A and B are shown apart, each in its own frame.
Chain A
């Protein structure tokens, strides 16, 4: 089987120039792969570098060395050395990222925030909104809120809007940073079901989940990040 994500010996250090140039090692020797239809959960205590690894896979953090191999439209691209335009292409067509927090534009309606990734990829607005509506409905966001911008919503509601936006696309790779952190049991179950559906469609996922029960439900494999942190 051909891996969707293939990371080899990736290293990340922050150099804090404003603090006298202190070197802050984050991770080193990061090596693992993710196959289609598989969910790999990163484990390790806070500060071990789990989120940093997700950000490196998304091309949000740069690597000092090593390789972040991503299968993008049947070719292998090394995101650690890719040009900005290539990274943007990979994000639009291949990698989705569900962060912990929603970063929304002030005036855009919730339904459009969720539908946007589909519209950007060329789907007609009405179709995209219909798909967005289905997902919002499943995630228990009442229809009367759909036309409002999510900025005024509660933390849990914003996170569900964020999840809907992240899960709506048919991208072959999905990165999940604490997707269930502030959700109640019913909505956690919805997220678990969404992850299972993505697996059936062959989506490769990397997740950070602190909740043991959820981790048990979604993880096919666990990668312990502690060894990468210790080596840094």
Chain B
């Protein structure tokens, strides 16, 4: 982590990203860069444009203006809009992860947990069944799922287990960048704490760059280095996470911070 944060080459760069639906601007003129090992939280309430931004960044939605560039594993920086569909899918299967709020969107609910994790490995060319199973089992252990459950489908898992399985499925190919959309959203508070703890240690251990969308400032504080506050599709305040949360400048950020209920 020490070297990574001092690595001066950004991994992902967004330049003047915009998206409008007819006359409604969902995302306006967003620019930032993300370095390896850096965790950026995008906060704001529903409708602020944060999920749209995540989709633009991950190339799932075409921008109306601006562009996103990404430094590929071979060191070449590419504009995402110029990638072919096959290249983009390959990126998603290897170097990127996407953790959805609803695990059912990121998992195949009817196949076994082992297959859910193994599938990502097969997609990048692994073909030795024993090694795939061994690696899948290792990853279940790392996300604190009893490996005796490897042959069970996630349908039979609790919400917290499903979310941890989704994380294992994403991380098994050792991506460098993971997008997360409200990863602790639908979970009980105690389950949330455990998941956050797990995410925090995995992110540090694997030196992951993360863009995480959350409306929960406690999640942002625990996981992120930097925060972008969005309102009405615009970034209204950005900075070091503890700076923005302890010394918020903009009226809207002050409102967000002051709305946290003390535990």
Contacts and interface: CB of A to CB of B under 8 A. Distances in A.
B84 to A, nearest CB: 33
A133 interface: no
Main secondary structure of the interface of B (DSSP, over half): helix
Given A60-B243, A85-B38, A122 B2 contact: yes
Contacts of A14: 247
Interface residues on A, range: 20 to 34
The 5 closest A-B pairs by CB, nearest first: A17-B251, A84-B240, A106-B193, A61-B247, A107-B197
B226 A107 contact: no
B5 interface: yes
A88 B2 contact: no
B194 A84 contact: no
A97 B115 CA distance: 46
Contact of A59 (B1, B240, B255): B240
Given A18-B255, A106-B197, A60 B246 contact: yes
Main secondary structure of the interface of A (DSSP, over half): mixed
6 contacts: A55-B247, A59-B243, A62-B249, A92-B5, A108-B197, A120-B1
A106 B239 CA distance: 25
A161 B5 CA distance: 27
B55 interface: no
Interface in B35-55: 35, 38
Contact of B258 (A18, A61, A92, A120): A18
A15 interface: yes
B89 interface: no
A16 interface: yes
A105 interface: yes
A147 interface: no
Given A17-B250, A18-B255, A120-B1, A87 B194 contact: no
B254 A17 contact: yes
A140 interface: no
A18 B226 CA distance: 24
A123 to B, nearest CB: 11
Interface of A: 14-18, 55, 59-62, 84-85, 87-89, 92-93, 105-108, 120-122
Contacts of B197: 105-108
Contact of A88 (B5, B246, B249): B5
B85 interface: no
A92 B1 CA distance: 10
B222 interface: yes
A106 to B, nearest CB: 5
A61 B243 CA distance: 6
Given A18-B258, A62-B243, A105-B200, A84 B226 contact: yes
Contacts of A59: 240, 243
A62 B249 CA distance: 9
Given A89-B6, A122-B2, A60 B242 contact: yes
B192 to A, nearest CB: 10
A18 B2 contact: no
Contacts of A55: 246-247
B194 A107 contact: yes
Given A17-B254, A84-B226, 13 more contacts: A18-B251, A59-B243, A62-B243, A62-B247, A85-B35, A85-B38, A85-B225, A88-B5, A92-B2, A93-B2, A106-B193, A106-B194, A121-B2
Given A105-B197, A107-B193, A122-B2, A84 B254 contact: no
Contacts of A93: 2
Contacts of A17: 250-251, 254-255
Nearest to A52: B247
Interface string B5-17: 1100000000000
B35 to A, nearest CB: 7
A84 B249 contact: no
Contacts of B254: 16-18
B130 to A, nearest CB: 30
B199 to A, nearest CB: 11
Contacts of B240: 59, 84, 87-88
Contacts of A107: 193-194, 197
A141 B162 CA distance: 38
